[in-house]
Structures are given as structure tokens and as C-alpha cells.
Amino acid sequence: MWNKNGIKIPSVYTAIFITRAYNYDKWKILCEVHKTKLEILFAKFAQFGGYPEIVTTEDYNPKKTLIRELFSTYIQKDVIAFLRVENVTAFNSLIKVLCSETANLLNKKSLANTLGIAINTLNKYLDILQGTYVCHFLAPFFANTRKEVSKMKKIFINDSGLRNFILNRFPATYDDISGQEAESLAFAALRHYVTEENLFFYRTISKAEIDFIVDYSQTIDIIEVIFQNKVSGLPVAMRNFTKKYNTQKIILVTKQDFKEEDSRFYIPLPLFDFFLQANIHNRN
């Protein structure tokens, strides 16, 4: 199965979740029966990303070879040469820093100092990387500019396989996926169904943060990635947000918890894409 961005979703998911319709009781049973299989498949997807040729290649070493070729051909030759990147060393260093900082705030001043380049040069390189779909910068949501003041954007690398290759870190199992990587994978799923104009993150002056805000103008869905074996309670930032804004859905992306409580949905990461198909995609 392919999403609208040309990224392949493991076909076994289609076999397990035949319909897009969300039914808690049915999904709960399927999740319990196929838990191990889903985690193994998702770990492979997290390892090597979603470029079609890489996904359809079966063995580990050929996959790494294809990612290496992708990096060499697409970024090192096409992007750098065609777009006339003057400082190749700084550009390559920038890519590596961004990969290591995925799901974190982008501090341009600090980053320019680290790389030893001017802000204008940094902005040019960031525009190139976003324009060539290597990365994406997520804007903050705010209504009260005095309390919700984060002006910095969050950085996300669009493909986990490319990021893993650049960092030389390929999580071997589902348990090896870090919280930072889980948030980045959740963002990749969200981008399939939510437009850039509707998708944000939330951070207050006191550093209370919610990973993702889906703003429909009249209502808002809030999403937090809590990649732990057990999730207890609702984060304070989410509780406070629901008191201030007309929040429709509260979604917690978990490691394995799958349950519903009132308007809260606890969704394991391997099922998040399918949950979005049923609950967010149909509203756009």
C-alpha cells in the first residue's frame, strides 16, 4: 500500500486492518493477536524508511547499499551540484546536525555559530533542504503571544532511513526506537493526512510542550508521543491546554498501550497511521 506521498506502508498492515473504519473492539483484538508481528514490521520500516526501492528490497545489506546510493546521488550530487552549494563541508555538517536534532527546536543563531557560517547562508541551506524534501520545519501554535512565545520551529527529517544512514544508527528492534525517533515517525505519519497550515507544536514560556496540534479553526486535536511501556495519566500540558481551547480529540501515541478513556485515544505507534486514516484524513 502506498500513501499519497509515494511512501510505501508495509502491505501486511493492509491485510490485518482490511478496512479504514476505526472500531475499538476489533482493533483491540487484532492488536493483541498481531502485536509481535506489527512491531517487527514497524521496526523494519523505522530502520530503513519509506523510499519505494528500499522498502521492496528484502535483505539488510542491499537496503543499506541503496540508502548509501540515495545519499550519494541525490544529496551529494544532485542537490549540492545543481543548487550550487558553496560550502559543501558546512552543508554536510548541517545535515548531520539536523539529523541528530530531529524533533527538537531549531536555534538558528546557535547552529550558525556551530557551523561557522552566516545566518543568511544557513537560511539558504535550510531552504534547500526543505525544498528538496530532506527535512521539514514545524511551526509553533500560539494564541497568547506573551505566554506561548516559542518562535523557533521544530526540525524533522522526512525519512528515517536516510537519517539513520547519516547518523550510522539503525535501530534493530522495536524496543531500540528512541522517544525522539518515535516522535519523528509520528510526524511522518501526520504529514500524510494533515496540511502544513493545520499542523503545529505547542510550547509555553514555562516550557510546557505538546508534540503536535492539529488546528481545524473550530476544534483542535492534540497529540503527544509517550513511547513507554506503560502510560499513566494525562500530561499536565495537555490537561491545561484542554481548559483553554476547544479540544476535540486527545491522542497519545504509545509504545504498546491501546485503549480509550473518554475522549482520549491511546494508540500504539505502529497503528498510528491507520488511526489517522480513519479519524483525521476523513475530516480534511
- Helix runs in the chain, H state only: 11-16, 24-33, 35-48, 52-55, 60-70, 80-82, 88-100, 108-115, 119-131, 160-167, 179-193, 236-244, 272-279
Residue 191 above 70 pLDDT? Answer: yes
The pTM of this model reads 0.88
Residue 156 main-chain phi, psi, to 5 deg: -135, 135
Residue 184 main-chain phi, psi, to 5 deg: -65, -40
Residue 13 main-chain phi, psi, to 5 deg: -60, -40
What are 264-268's contacts with CB under 8 Å, separation 24+? 264/234, 266/231, 268/31, 268/38
Which residue shows C-alpha cell 493477536?
Answer: 33
pLDDT in tens, 9-67: 555 555 555 555 678 888 888 888 888 988 998 999 999 998 888 888 888 888 889 99
Total residue count of the chain as it appears in this document: 284
Domain ranges of the chain: 11-283
**Res 274: pLDDT:** 86
CA neighbor of 187 nearest in space, from 146, 240, 223, 221: 223
Dihedral of alpha carbons 222, 224, 230, 232, sign: negative
Strand partners, 128: none
Kindly report the average pLDDT of the chain as a whole number: 87
Residue 94 main-chain phi, psi, to 5 deg: -60, -45
pLDDT in tens, 238-273: 999 999 999 999 999 999 999 998 889 999 999 999
Residue 51 main-chain phi, psi, to 5 deg: -65, 130
pLDDT in tens, 199-212: 999 998 888 899 99
Residue 7 above 60 pLDDT? Answer: no
- Give the CA diameter of the chain: 57
pLDDT class of 149 with cuts at 50, 70, 90: low
pLDDT class of 4 with cuts at 50, 70, 90: very low
**Res 15: pLDDT:** 52
**Res 145: pLDDT:** 52
